[in-house]
Structure 1
Amino acid sequence: MNIYVGNLPYSVVEEDLREIFEEYGEVSAVKIISDKLTGRSKGFGFVEMDDDEEAKKAIEELNNAELSGRNIKVNESRPRSNDSRGGGHRRSGGGGFNRRERY
């Protein structure tokens, strides 16, 4: 099961997250999402656990748990829909790119 973990303190690294979830069972993968330009954590990540029962127990017990002063959000990850970020290639209105200014 793929698990979403949000509201992470920026100081948390993947090994920290792995250790937390391994208390509930075997963890097959951990990924904290980082900004491409700065490399800084975006404050969320994903944990993959093969055993669904262990994963559900981890979700139940870790959701809203405090981690370094922040209450983390933990739930089953849902696949992103095609229009979760604005629907892809839709265009609407100006934007001003390559627009000539007239004085």
Structure 2
Amino acid sequence: MNIKVSNLNRLTTVQHLLNLFVPFGVVQSVKIVKKDITGRSQGTGYVKMDRFSGNSAINGLNYFRFMNFYIEVSEAPM
């Protein structure tokens, strides 16, 4: 399952996102979307997990306060 994480603090790293999702299960991959020219975060990331763990993470983290931002966590459209 691919999970979209929106409204991330621009200072969020891949390691931060990984640490946030690991308590819900095995994380297969993590990506933070960055601007091409500057390499700065766009405030969106993607996490890949199995469906059961992914649903648990979505339920547990949607509108969770993370690094002083309320993140939005949902299944990413295919």
**Mapping of residues 11-50 of structure 1, within 5 Å:** 11-49=11-49
Runs (4+) of structure 1 exceeding 6 A deviation are none
Gaps of 5+ in 2: none
Kindly provide the amino acid, as one letter, of the partner of residue 68 in structure 2. G
- The number of residue pairs the alignment matches comes to 78
User: Cα offset for 1:30?
Assistant: 0.2
> When you count helix as a share of all residues, which structure comes out higher?
2
- Greater RCO structure (CA 8 Å; 6+ sep): 2
Instruction: Name the CA distance, whole Å, in 1 between partners of 2:27 and 2:53.
Output: 10
User: Cα offset for 1:69?
Assistant: 1.2
RMSD over aligned CA atoms reads 0.6
Give the number of the structure whose alpha-carbon radius of gyration is greater.
1
TM-score normalised per structure 2: 0.97
Identical-pair percentage = 37
> When you count strand as a share of all residues, which structure comes out higher?
2
